[in-house]
Amino acid sequence: MKNKSNTQPARSKFTIFKQICNLIPPHLVPKLARETGVDKKARDFSPWSHVISLMFSQLAHCLSLNDVCDGLSLHRGPLSTLRGATPPSRNGLSHANKVRDWRLAQQLFYSTLDHLQNLTPNFGGLRGNSRFARRFRRAIHIVDATTIQLVANCMDWARHRRS
């Protein structure tokens, strides 16, 4: 007689991306947006949606704004379950990266790090009172939409854009 106890792992309702986003306290991004003045410049594209877009671009190893916007718009349904985040337009994400204060991301990082270290004292593995990691073991990817003027002027195929 066969053993009919098929043990399978329980299916999670949450994606890994949602689990990572849930580590950020819900009140933190709006509070930091008010402190840095980012919320005054936000209309349709909220600071939380901007943070979600930047986290997605890092975790998905996106190479361009198109990758970020297309990837998030394909997952519009699950994205809306992340505290009402909305996918950005290409122009909206580019404008947000250009205009919004970078201190929001810096303060969000350190506030989240402090929060996680309060929950688990050994989180991050930092030794002593140093607030900076000595070395990163993985590559850190960033999305930058700027163009270096010198390079654009030297390339013959870049006639449409000189600055």
- What's the pLDDT band for 110 if we cut at 50, 70, 90? very high
**If pLDDT is split at 50, 70 and 90, which confidence band does 44 have?**
confident
**Backbone angles phi and psi of 3, in degrees to 5:** -80, 120
Domain boundaries, the chain: 16-122+142-154
Predicted pLDDT of residue 151: 56
Q: What is the pLDDT at residue 27?
A: 92
- Mapped onto helix, strand or coil, the DSSP state of residue 75 is coil
Instruction: State the average pLDDT over residues 52-64.
Output: 90
CB 89 within 8 A of CB 83: no
Q: What is the pTM of this model?
A: 0.67
Strands (E), 2-161: none
Task: Look at residue 81 in the predicted model and tell me its pLDDT.
Answer: 86
pLDDT at 125: 63
Mean pLDDT of 142-153: 59
> Nearest 10 degrees: CA dihedral of 105, 15, 92, 147?
70
Q: How far apart are the C-alpha atoms of 152 and 160, rounded to whole Å?
A: 9
Could you tell me which residue, 161 or 144, shows the higher pLDDT?
A: 144
Is the confidence at residue 38, as pLDDT, over 70? yes
